[in-house]
Amino acid sequence: MNAFTPANPLEEALLGAQQDEASQNAFIALLMDSEVGVMLDKPLLADGAWDPEAAPMVLERSGGFPALAVFTAPERAIAAGIHSNSYQNGKALPFRQLLRGIQPALGLVLNPGSLVGFDMKPEDVTELKRAFGVETGSAS
């Protein structure tokens, strides 16, 4: 893997949070108000909307749970798409909106394959949604 160079303020905060535990809450607050990317198995609709038939990239994590792959910068999502035969289409959207669409049995993996990122178990995602008042619905 190559060295991690932050591409935006969100990634700068992520790097800080991984180096300093006291910065983790500030990172989560920034993440909640940031745009993130996901990779989809079908192209976006003509108006740029998420095709309801499209499935996002979900990875099985070493903890034994499936996790939605979420990226903090477009270049990280593009890199993931290069290494995938199925997920070649990217979609950027607000993290809070994406969080709404994560179902209870699904975790989250931020920047899979990158030196800087993390996993959230399904119960941690549920707690994050509760803490920020995000109800489960549709992300698209």
pLDDT tens figures, 59-95 = 999 989 999 999 999 889 888 888 888 999 999 999 9
In this structure, the number of other CB atoms found within 10 A of the CB of residue 126 comes to 19
Q: What is the spatial distance between Cα 64 and Cα 38, in angstroms, rounded to a whole number?
A: 21
Residue 1 confidence (pLDDT) above 60? no
How far are the Cα atoms of 15, 17, 35, 100, 135 from residue 97, in angstroms, in the given order? 23, 23, 9, 5, 10
35-131 belongs to which homologous superfamily?
Uncharacterised protein PF11572, DUF3234 (3.40.1350.90)
Confidence class of residue 20 from pLDDT cuts 50, 70 and 90? confident
Q: What is the spatial distance between Cα 133 and Cα 96, in angstroms, rounded to a whole number?
A: 10
Confidence class of residue 21 from pLDDT cuts 50, 70 and 90? confident
Which tokens is 118 given?
């993390």
Domain boundaries, the chain: 35-131
Residue 134 confidence (pLDDT) above 90? yes
Confidence class of residue 110 from pLDDT cuts 50, 70 and 90? very high
DSSP per residue over 95-124, as a string? HHHHHHT--TT-EEEESTTSSS-EEE-HHH
Strand-by-strand arrangement of the 118-120 sheet: 58-60, 66-70, 107-110, 118-120
Residue 115 confidence (pLDDT) above 80? yes
Confidence class of residue 2 from pLDDT cuts 50, 70 and 90? low
Q: pTM of the prediction? A: 0.92
Residue 15 confidence (pLDDT) above 90? yes
pLDDT at residue 75, rounded to an integer: 87
C-alpha triplet 58, 61, 48: angle, nearest 5°: 20
